[in-house]
Amino acid sequence: TNKIILDSDPGIDDVMAILFAEAHPAIELKAITTVYGNATIENGTRNALFLKQKYGFNADVVKGADKPIVRDPVGPTIVVHGETGLGDVHAPTDLTLSADPRPAYQYIIDSVKAEPGEITLVAVGPLTNLALALEAAPEIAGLVKEVVVMGGAFGMNDHRGNVTPYAEANIHDDPHAADIVFTAPWPVVVIGLDVTEESFFSKDYLDQLRDDAAEVGQFIWDISRYYLKFYSEKVGLEGCHVHDPSAIAYVIDPSLFTLREGPIRVVTDGPAEGLTIQKFDERKYQHDDWGMNPAQKVGVGVRDEALLKLYRETI
């Protein structure tokens, strides 16, 4: 099994990913570390605790960063994920469970050091917690099994962003953190927007899940009503893309994805702030400091039918 810490900004598709990870036998969900993003850190953390309480997860819930490292905060994406992050569903404010007392970056450091080579970090929100962990304890880079990120966009079908034409939300929220994470000497796999948008939960797919997957199916259906309204009104699609669950799908079955290797950097300011770029050709230049950065893996294709089947069967 893969022991994972799922770093997330819960978030409707984040919850779809959390439930997927918890349900699949190939994954041991050790913790959900939270980060601002789709919701405020308070709301996102409450959403994670709500899931833990509702479904009896063993996973720890750990509160993380409330703002990016350098840039000004963008603020929660209420139009996509609703006022508190789960659309029309609101986690109770009187939950009996509470978060681990440590900040998320410290929890990550402690966990990785306690089980060297064993832990996969899966990040499906802004990369602030991971960057803070690396800054406080750079040695963890050599102790993590793998880092799997949903974020960025690398240009399949010329697709480079959703919040701006050149930036995807998770990276745009904290481009400096993303650049730290992608250039660190640990193995990173990035599944970007251009690939997650190849997989689509149609309205019918979600209806079927509600009918076949008992209470969990109903819960996913309930939280996704608001999301589908956004998609219908603003994107013009009847259904939603499969962003965050794609990162979990990679951990369960990497053969679902086609990957390309090369160093990755992030544009940290200017009109293309948050743009992710990968150098994947073999050409060498005289002043090629890019070559100094570790080659990381980027998704360039997905077997979407197989991914949808895996999600359905798991839930």
Phi first, then psi: what are they for 237, rounded to 5°? Answer: -125, 145
Name the minimum Å distance from CB 57 to Ca ion.
18
C-alpha–C-alpha distance, residues 12 and 47, integer Å: 10
Greatest CA separation for the chain:
61
> Using the rule CB under 6 A, which residue among 33, 34, 38, 111 binds ligand BDR?
38
Quickly count helices (H) and strands (E) in the chain. Answer: 12, 12
Q: Which is nearer to ligand BDR, 13 or 106 (CB)?
A: 13
* Radius of gyration for the alpha carbons in the chain, expressed in angstroms and rounded: 18
Q: Which is nearer to Ca ion, 14 or 60 (CB)?
A: 14
Q: How many CB atoms lie within 10 A of CB 261?
A: 12
User: Which residues carry out catalysis?
Assistant: 243
Distances (CA, A) of 55 to 6, 19, 73, 121, 303: 16, 9, 32, 22, 30
Residue 27 binding ligand BDR, by CB under 6 A: no
Residues that bind Ca ion (CB under 5 A): 9, 11, 14, 124-125, 244
> Using the rule CB under 6 A, which residue among 5, 6, 7, 13 binds ligand BDR?
13
Instruction: For Cα atoms 31, 32, 38, give the angle at the middle one, nearest 5 degrees.
Output: 170
Site string for ligand BDR, 163-202 (x = CB under 6 A): -----xxx----------------------x---------
Tokens of 147: 């880092």
Q: Which is nearer to ligand BDR, 143 or 298 (CB)?
A: 298
Name the minimum Å distance from CB 173 to Ca ion.
10
Give residue number: closest CB to ligand BDR. Answer: 169
Name the minimum Å distance from CB 44 to Ca ion.
9
Contact positions vs ligand BDR (CB under 6 A): 11, 13-14, 38, 77, 80, 124-125, 150, 162, 168-170, 193, 243-244
